[in-house]
Structure 1
Amino acid sequence: MSFLFLFYIEVGFVSLKKTALWLGLLAIVVKFSGFLRESIIAKEFGASHYTDGYLLAFSFITLVIAMISGGFNNVFLPMYVKNRKDEPEQTEHNANAIMNLTVLLFLVISFVGWLLAPYFVPLIYGKMTLETAKIAISVTRFFFLFMSAIALNGILDSYLQGRRIFVPSQISKLSATLMGAIFALLFSDQWGINSLAYGFIFGTVLGILVQLFFLWRKDWRWTPALKVEKEFQRAFLVLLIPSLLNSVVGQINMFVNKSFAASTIPGAVTYLNNASLITSIPHTIYGTTIAVIIFTLLSEQVDEQKKFQNTFFMGMQVSLLTLAPIAAGLLLVGQEAISFIFERGKFTAHDTYNTYLALLYYLPTIVTQGLQYIVSKSMYARGKTKVVFRISVTTIALNALLNWLFVGPFGYPGLALTGSFVSIYYLVVSTVFVYKDFEKKEATRLIGLIGRVLIVTAFMVIPLYLLKEFTPISSLYSLWQLVIIVPLGVLFYVAGLFFFYKEGFNQLLNLLKRKARAQGR
């Protein structure tokens, strides 16, 4: 999606902000459909070796999706769009050949993965229980049979973006997520945890058909080409290798985390997954709405140092002002939120508490990942992609080391703590690189911002904590606690901004007005 924003800026597409905001809303719908799926999983299977095994197997799906939607598409899409303007027929031929070759490659990967899954799954995930290993191997083998379909689904997304068609790709993602949930709800008695996998693949195939239909309407035609023009092929491969490497760094860290989690207690992978899902919601919403506007401004002002610095500071300011209170609020009502979302059927109060333990250690990532969005995009805007890659690669070693150090004394929550430490490290190092090109006073300005936001957040948290501790509110049903505490938290936080940080208060108001104007275009 980041390339998409830059592409719009380059071609002068006047409704960039409006389009990006609509795409953001669709992305949020997809994200919340994931919540629905996880809620149904919790109801039908609880937190057990079934859910752990499924989540371990699903990691291979997320790896392929990251490689295609990140590594592959970030290279394929710009080349396809650029060359299609000058040589439409030759470009379509090259694109078809690349798609066909990629699908054929994944057919080979599918067969090898299906054949060797009983060997590499235990090797990657280490000390799984026998029950978890059985589920993980079985579901992994099934998923590998359809890896080429998953790859094709991602490639078609590139074609659609290249033709400025965006809704079908979001429908495709929604289809895969929702079908997994629906199949689990309808067929879990007959197929058990496998119903999730069957539903996901069914939804993926349905998504492919939707994307093909819309492409066909735009006069796209498939050809059985396998030969790529040498110049196009050379340029594609030169860019593809570093892009793929960059796209899998996060997935490698995920595999390491799940490997350690599988060796702790039954349900640990599920607890970490559910906690991570909750903490990812705020910065996902932020990254697909408000941050879209900020990134656009950064890209437009890359050659104007003063404006760039001010916009970067505004991005950090808005990130802290919007995400810090959410993290603090989840500290107070995280357990109630988990209870309301997951605690039903086979997901017990004990599972809720175990998930909350992981959530507590994940809380810093809500803020750090939101800030990292601004920091990384500012580096991308200035062409420092190699610096971003070098920093991200170092997180692999740090992640593995900290997992090894923390899993003993902390158990599975220590893996969440590792995630927070790695996120903080990534943010601090990246920010240092950004501020090397800024005036020295900008660093002081940022430190002052952090101090003010801490004061305002404390103004919100302290009265809410006292309310929970010294009134009967904590004995209410989880939903009613959320209904009372969340609006009060918003009121206290806005009041704190008004009294202690009026600049931030006005900045949020201005950004909301900017967003409203963008939606009205």
Structure 2
Amino acid sequence: MSLKKTALWLVALSLVVKLSGFLRESIIASKFGATSYTDGYLLAFSFITLVIAIISGGFNNVFLPMYVKQKKEAPEATERNANGVMNATVVIFLAISVLGWLLSPWFVPLIYPKITGLTAEVTIEITRFFFLFMSAIALNGILDSYLQAQRIFVPSQMSKLSATLMGAVFALLFSDQWGINSLAYGFIFGTLVGIGIQLFFLLKKGYRWSPTLTVEQEFRRSFLVLLVPALLNAGVGQINMFVNKSFASSTIPGAVTYLNNSSLITSIPHTIYGTTIAVVIFTLLSEQVNHQKKFQDTFFMGMQVSLLTLAPIAAGLFLVGEEAISFIFERGKFTASDTHHTYLALVYYLPTIVTQGLQYIVSKSMYAQGKTNIIFRISVTTIALNVFLNWLFVEPFGYPGLALTSSFVSIYYLVVSTIFVYKDFEKKEVTRLLGLVVRVTFVTAFMIVPLYLLKLYMPISELYSLWQLMIIVPLGVVFYAIGLFIFYKEGFRQLLSIVKKKAKK
């Protein structure tokens, strides 16, 4: 399969994975609503996301380049070392599994001190179950590294899809017998299926497993030296997540679910945008890192496309967010009141749609320039800021204040990172960026004001949520395109050229 076809498959599969996530959350909402059961499950699932982040964001970022580089020089020795590292990691996670199962009743209340009653019972029970299979989850991530090293990318997405879909299928079929536990059982079953899928493709490629824990001293030393900062960097986001959920569990029943569902919606644009940027802009940044003028222009183009595509989406969700939540989640035990509570959190999450897209460009440009230590130092400071703002906002705002904290932290991260990038740029580039922000803000307002008036004075709000979306969203696209053409022709041409390039591919 060519790289172009692979890229198309990856984009398609990543969207399917995201949509399957919505299917799962929709089934959860229908079967369990926003209750102590769903809160408990989401709190327990945080430990799964922590392991996934450690493997994909820490382990893989070190293991993959070392494996690829050294395999060219000494293929047999590298395979032995890689097998030793993989086996040792699985053994370590087997020990973690046992300890986690034994100690969950102690450390879960320590991490989430405010949970009580049914929420605490569900969280501890499902956490113990998840810990039994932590080694399998770690192995699933390690196999992904092997596949990437062989330039085999699609099975990884198939594995993710399996875990997500099986969670939804089990909840749909077995929720009456197993309750909220059916989600956990389905996720683990899907993970085991995912391991099988990845092993099948690896074995086809000629992979051979060997039962060894031996790793050459030089390989082990180099691996550990790089691994420690990588794991720390991967853990920062997860620490912030645990802090947020800990604060959320101290507010009202269902708060964790409201925050989860709203953040899931705001993550869609970032997921789609990220796969596009990975193909179009990051490659250019990496190629032009030694050509200052071209690097600056490409960086600006990335910021320009980010703002032009994500700002109207964030503004549009302010108008139709409640309708979108209603269409996706409001059925069964998920009531209109739950929809409104989710929308309250969504409103405060909206800035992250734009900031995360911009941060993608900023961070990738810093990675291209080798400024990884700066990124780590900035990200570490977000932990203290996140704790302080959660403490500051949770009392006056309740659980939506935690979404507001996420937005403030995201803005802080973006601003500080951008300052470091622009230190190496010409001064006129700052003016250029500020001018871009002003223009996009004006064009977005041109779109949102007539839509707001239309919704306010026309009987659209009386329609079913899907029909409201089908009316307002296309009108928003038209108004935004007209605003761009009239007030920001350069941006209009930029978006048009990207669409044409995609169409040709």
- Per the TM superposition, whether the score is higher than 0.5 is yes
Equivalent residue for 2:417, pick from 425, 430, 435: 430
Name the counterpart of 1:452.
439
Counterpart amino acid of residue 470 in structure 2: V
2:118 corresponds in structure 1 to 131
CA contact (8 A) 1:291 1:315 kept: no
1:20 is aligned to 7
Which of 507, 515, 521 aligns to 2:494? It is 507
CA distance in 2, matches of 1:324, 1:266: 32
Equivalences for residues 18-57 of structure 1 within 5 A: 19-57=6-44
Equivalent residue for 1:182?
A: 169
Aligned counterpart in structure 2 of residue 387 of structure 1, from 359, 363, 374: 374
The aligned runs of 1:195-274 (5 Å cut-off) are: 195-274=182-261
Measured in 1, the distance between the counterparts of 2:333 and 2:441 equals 39
Tell me the alpha carbon deviations over residues 185-206 of structure 1, each in whole angstroms, 9 at most, x when there is no partner: 0000000000000000000000
- Contact 1:17/1:292 (8 A) holds in 2: no
In 1, Cα distance between equivalents of 2:223 and 2:81: 10
Of 397, 414, 431, the residue aligned with 2:401 is 414
How far off its partner does 1:21 sit? 4.3
* Cα-to-partner distance string for 1:325-383 (whole Å, 9 max, x where unaligned): 00000000000000000000000000000000000000000000000000000000000
Is residue 25–residue 288 contact of structure 1 (8 Å, CA) maintained in 2? Answer: no
The equivalent position to 2:159 in structure 1, one of 150, 162, 172, is 172
Give 1:28 deviation, angstroms: 1.6
Q: Give the Cα separation in 1 of the matches to 2:2 and 2:420.
A: 32
Aligned partner of 1:348 among 335, 340, 346: 335
Consecutive unaligned residues of structure 1, counting only runs of 5 or more, are 1-13
RMSD across aligned C-alpha pairs, in angstroms?
1.0
User: What is the alpha-carbon distance in structure 2 between the residues aligned to residue 512 and residue 386 of structure 1?
Assistant: 35
Q: What secondary structure does 1:222 align onto? A: coil
Whole-angstrom CA distance in 1 between matches of 2:357 and 2:184: 31
Q: Which runs of structure 2 are paired with 1:51-70 in the superposition (5 Å)?
A: 51-70=38-57
Structure 1 position 509, deviation (Å): 1.1
Q: Quote the offset at 1:85 in angstroms.
A: 1.3
Percent of aligned pairs sharing the same letter: 80
Distance in 1 of aligned mates of 2:389 and 2:441: 27
Please tell me whether the aligned partners of residues 180 and 200 of structure 1 are also in contact (alpha carbons under 8 angstroms): yes
1:3 aligned residue: none
Aligned counterpart, 1:321? 308
Q: Superposition pairs for residues 69-218 of structure 1, below 5 Å?
A: 69-218=56-205
Query: Counterparts of 1:19 and 1:458 in 2: how far apart (Å)?
Result: 38
Whole-angstrom distance in 1 between the partners of 2:370 and 2:502: 27
1:469 counterpart = 2:456: yes
Aligned pair count reads: 505
* 1:297 paired to 2:308: no
Kindly provide the CA deviation profile for residues 298-319 of structure 1, in whole angstroms up to 9, marking residues without a partner as x: 1110000000000000000000
Give the 3-state SS of the residue equivalent to 2:207 in structure 1: coil
Local SS of the residue matching 1:288: helix
TM-score by length of 1: 0.96
Deviation at 1:515, TM superposition (A): 2.6
Q: CA deviation at 1:290?
A: 3.6
Q: CA deviation at 1:87?
A: 1.0
CA–CA separation in structure 1 for the residues paired with 2:9 and 2:446: 34
Counterpart Cα distance in 2 of 1:16 and 1:435: 33
Q: Distance in 1 between matches of 2:218 and 2:386?
A: 39
| TM-score (structure 2 length as normaliser) | 0.99
Q: CA deviation at 1:19?
A: 3.6
Structure 2 counterpart of 1:378, from 332, 351, 365 = 365
Does the 8 A contact of 2:6 with 2:154 survive in 1? no
Whole-Å Cα distance in 2 between the matches of residues 24 and 399 of structure 1? 32
Q: Conserved in 2, the CA contact under 8 Å of 1:184 and 1:199?
A: yes
2:267 paired residue number: 280
> Counterpart of 2:208 in 1: which secondary structure?
coil
- Rounded to whole Å, the distance in 2 between the matches of 1:217 and 1:462 is 57
